[in-house]
Chain A
Amino acid sequence: MHVVPVAAIADEELAARAATGDAGAFEALVGRHEARVYRLAHRLTGSDADARDVLQDTFLAAYRSLASFRGAARFSTWLYRIATNAALMHRRAWRRRPTESLEEFLPQFDETGQHAPEVAELQAASRADVVLDGKLLAAEARAALERLPDLYREAFVLRDLEEMDTSEVAGLLDIDAATVRQRVHRARLMLRGYLSHLVGAKT
């Protein structure tokens, strides 16, 4: 009998097997996707403790709703939708505090629409390219993401950090593609200004 190695079986096939009670198939799906789900959850919630909870919630919810996964979408899209919703719910439940505005870090223009004079040319070398402690950089990045308005953070994390297609992000967040682009753009502008010392931009 020819046995197909698990690694060669598509997610959707494993999901179908898992739905019939094949624990090994579900294990294989967990193994394939746990690192990315954790990373996504960490980026959306900003903490290890929250990301752990979201990881558990995601796979438990996926396990319990395998029967409703019909294979119309890719398994990964279906799973990341569960993870994104779990992360956003977690955030809303535990992190109700006002976000400081990043508006002041948006680019400045003069009355004729030209870059304001203080917007200088790119610095010769940005600090991130020199030597910057990795932990410090991670802490700064997390703090910057935390300061984004929720709607911008969600779109930015999915589109720019997880590198999903704009249309996939639109589907996940139930908004249209133009809205995704607008939110991601605003997030990039704010983060660029806020992290100007890292990205080589003077605001």
Chain B
Amino acid sequence: MPNLTCRDGVEMLMDYLEGTLGSPEREAIETHVSGCPRCAAFVESYQRTPRILRAATAEALPADLALSLRRFLAARRAEDA
């Protein structure tokens, strides 16, 4: 796969990271990225994006909710019985 562009690489990036590409495509991406600082930076920010969102949206169970959930379920169970 000669002459891979940045756009081609970005298009295949998820498949590359998931390991679903064939070896010609994989090697073409690796060759391109190793010689392209912008793509190297792109890959880094692309991988950082889910990590930042994962940390920022990890909502803990509110303290009152465990008890209210159990009360709710017990009441429904009693209705069903």
**Does A30 have its Cβ within 8 Å of any Cβ on chain B?**
yes
Most buried by B among A119, A137, A182, A199: A199
**Does A79 have its Cβ within 8 Å of any Cβ on chain B?**
no
Is there contact, CB below 8 Å, between B18 and A60?
no
Interface size class of B (residues with CB under 8 A): 35 or more
Known interface pairs A113-B6, A121-B37. Does A185 touch B13 (Cβ–Cβ under 8 Å)?
Answer: yes
Q: Does more than half of chain A's interface fall in helix, strand or loop, or is it mixed?
A: helix
Known interface pairs A122-B41, A198-B52. Does A113 touch B5 (Cβ–Cβ under 8 Å)?
Answer: yes
Q: Does more than half of chain B's interface fall in helix, strand or loop, or is it mixed?
A: helix
Residues of chain A touching chain B, judged by Cβ–Cβ distance below 8 Å, are 23, 26-27, 30-31, 34-35, 38-39, 42-43, 48, 51-52, 55-56, 59-60, 63-64, 107, 109, 112-115, 119-122, 126, 128, 134, 137-138, 140-142, 144-145, 156, 160-161, 163, 166, 181-182, 184-185, 188-189, 191-192, 195-196, 198-201
